[in-house]
Amino acid sequence: MRPTLLFLSSLFLVLGFFSIGRGSGATEPPPAGAARAIFAGGCFWCMEPPFESLNGVYAVNSGYTGGRTEHPTYEEVSSGSSGHTEAVEVLYDATKVKYETLLDIFWKNIDPLAKDYQFCDHGSQYRSGIYPLDAAQQAAAEASKKALQAAGRFQKAIATEIVPAGPFWQAEEYHQDYYIKNPIRYKFYRNGCGRDARLKELWGASAGH
C-alpha cells in the first residue's frame, strides 16, 4: 500500500460508500490497428486521466512493465521485488493524435528529476519511464528528452529512463479507471501525495496539460 493510503486507510473506509462504478471508457474495444504507447509516471491511477481526456485516445490501461517476472500482481510490484514499474498503456488513433503529443502530456504530468520515486511514492516500482515500441517512438522519445534538458528549465539531470518496451502486464480490474470508480479516494490520495503542487512547481501553468 502506498504510504499516503496507509495513513488514510481508516478515512477511506468511511468514505467508501461514496465510490461509484466505472462510468467512462470505450463502449467498444479499440480497433485492431490502434497505435500503442507505454509510459510510467508513478501512480498509474494518476496517469490515466490526462491521456483519457485526449481526443483520439481509445483507451488507457493501467499495468506493469520493465520487470523480471510474468503476470506480476500488484502486491509483488508494490513490494519492489519484481523489478516492474507501474505504467499505463495508451491505445490511440495515430491519425488524430501524434506520439509527440503524448510525450508532451507525459512530461507535464511527472517529476522528471525524481530518481526511483514520484511524489510521495518511493521505490523503483514508481520510477518514471518511456518505453518505445519501435524505432520511430525511440527516436521521438530521445529527442523530446534531449530538448527538455536543453531548454534550461531544469538545472538537474532528467532521471526518466527510456528503454525499449518489454511485456506490458495489465493490472487488476479494480485499478482500471480508479479515479472514476473511487473519485473521493482518488482525490484524497492525489492531494495528500502532493502531486499537483509539485507539478505546478515544475511546470507552472502548463502542468498536467
Please list the active-site residues.
Answer: 43
**What is the widest separation between alpha-carbon atoms in the chain?**
49
118 phi/psi in degrees, rounded to 5: -140, 115
